[in-house]
Structure 1
Amino acid sequence: MKAETIQLKFKDDGTIPNSKLPLLIYKNVFSEEKANADFITKHFEDRDWSNSWKNGVYDYHHYHSNTHEVLGVYSGYATILFGGEEGNAFSIEEGDAVAIPAGVGHKLIQASEDFGVIGAYPNGMSYDLKKGNPEERPEADQNIEKVPLPDTDPVYGKMEGLVSLWREK
């Protein structure tokens, strides 16, 4: 199941804190027959990424200061702006997954009508919702510093992906 993994880093832009850890885009990790909501939800759960939700990415800049997040696309495609207003827009499509470190901003730019996505969190963490408002910091910065590195990668498990890539940072 090894596929292309894109790493992106974003600096604090004064509004969105972002992270020293790279955002990871796993291209085409779920084949067509496996790119369905139930399969991806179970796949993440088997790797201790749970508290999942189905469908939709907010169309405004936001981030989570108390947990990392994974997105798994099971249908359609979308363009998401990562890293805040000065970040990078990337297209993700059926079969892709994205590991978003705590603090990294994300915003839906556009999506196909059939865009379907699963979101989940390491160890079933509950997530907060931050929008980049000045009053959210420095508490958000303190929260981000305390978020532990996950024991498992949501796609590859214990041996690859963010387990090694994030520990090197």
Structure 2
Amino acid sequence: MPIIEPEARLFPPSGGVPNHPAFPVLIYHAALPADPSAIEEQVGANGWECRWRNGVFDYHHFHSTAHEALMVARGHATVQLGGSGGAVVEIAAGDALVLPAGTGHKRLAASADFLIIGAYPPGQDYEIERPDAAGLAAAQARIAAVLRPASDPVTGPAGALTRLWNG
């Protein structure tokens, strides 16, 4: 099986979004089947829990209590990662975003059939949080307490996450 190497992007705090200080966002292109059930099976086999199917909110938000994997099952979208000063990324069926706790994300545009699957490491629960400069220190403290997952949701225990998330 060929090695699948993601693009890795680290973002500084931006506009009240903490982002993660040590773990980069992992952007996988064409790494998954474009089938929701097959994606859920692969991600589950890699130790992550698929919890929902939907889209991405159209406002900046983040999760300070959990890492999140977003797998595109259908369609395509333009998303902004890292808050208002972050990067604009195009994603399509078969792509995945692995967002460390605190990473801002927002949908800018999407096809009518856009569908993603959201997954989390076992035992991690998320809250939907909006940018808040006054609450930045508290969010950063919560982020620091979130443990690194044992496995990459896309490529498994020997995947890029275990190499690149070494904080």
TM range, smaller chain: over 0.9
Q: How much has 1:129 moved relative to structure 2?
A: 1.1
Code of the aligned partner of 1:101? P
Map 1:15-54 onto structure 2 (within 5 A): 15-20=16-21, 21-30=23-32, 34-54=33-53
Structure 2 unaligned spans of 5+: none
**Alpha-carbon displacement from aligned partner over 1:78-109 (angstroms, at most 9, x marks no partner):** 01000000100100001101100100100000
* Residues 50 and 124 in structure 1, CA contact (< 8 A), matched pair in contact too: no
Of 44-53 and 66-75, deviating more is 44-53
Quote the RMSD (CA, aligned, Å): 1.4
Q: How much has 1:46 moved relative to structure 2?
A: 1.2
Question: In percent, how many aligned pairs have the same letter?
Answer: 39
Determine the structure 2 residue equivalent to 1:102: 101
In the aligned structure 1, how far is the partner of 2:132 from the partner of 2:142? 15
In the aligned structure 2, how far is the partner of 1:103 from the partner of 1:153? 18
Determine the structure 2 residue equivalent to 1:10: 11
The alignment partner of 2:39 has SS state of helix
Going from structure 1 to structure 2, the CA distance change for 1:29 and 1:51 (only over 3 Å counts) comes to closer
The alignment partner of 2:10 has SS state of strand
The alignment partner of 1:162 has SS state of helix
User: What is the number of equivalent residue pairs in this alignment?
Assistant: 165
Code of the aligned partner of 1:157? G
Determine the structure 1 residue equivalent to 2:141: 142
Code of the aligned partner of 2:17? I
> Higher strand proportion, which one?
1
Structure 1 unaligned spans of 5+: none
Q: How much has 1:4 moved relative to structure 2?
A: 4.3
**Alpha-carbon displacement from aligned partner over 1:29-84 (angstroms, at most 9, x marks no partner):** 02xxx321111112111112115110111100000000100011111100100000
Report the TM-score when normalising by structure 2.
0.93
**Alpha-carbon displacement from aligned partner over 1:4-39 (angstroms, at most 9, x marks no partner):** 411111001251001121100011002xxx321111
Code of the aligned partner of 2:117? I
* Residues 75 and 115 in structure 1, CA contact (< 8 A), matched pair in contact too: yes
Of 122-131 and 101-110, deviating more is 122-131
* Residues 48 and 124 in structure 1, CA contact (< 8 A), matched pair in contact too: no
In the aligned structure 2, how far is the partner of 1:97 from the partner of 1:2? 15
Going from structure 1 to structure 2, the CA distance change for 1:42 and 1:136 (only over 3 Å counts) comes to farther
In the aligned structure 1, how far is the partner of 2:50 from the partner of 2:158? 22
Code of the aligned partner of 1:120? A
Code of the aligned partner of 1:8? R
Determine the structure 2 residue equivalent to 1:55: 54
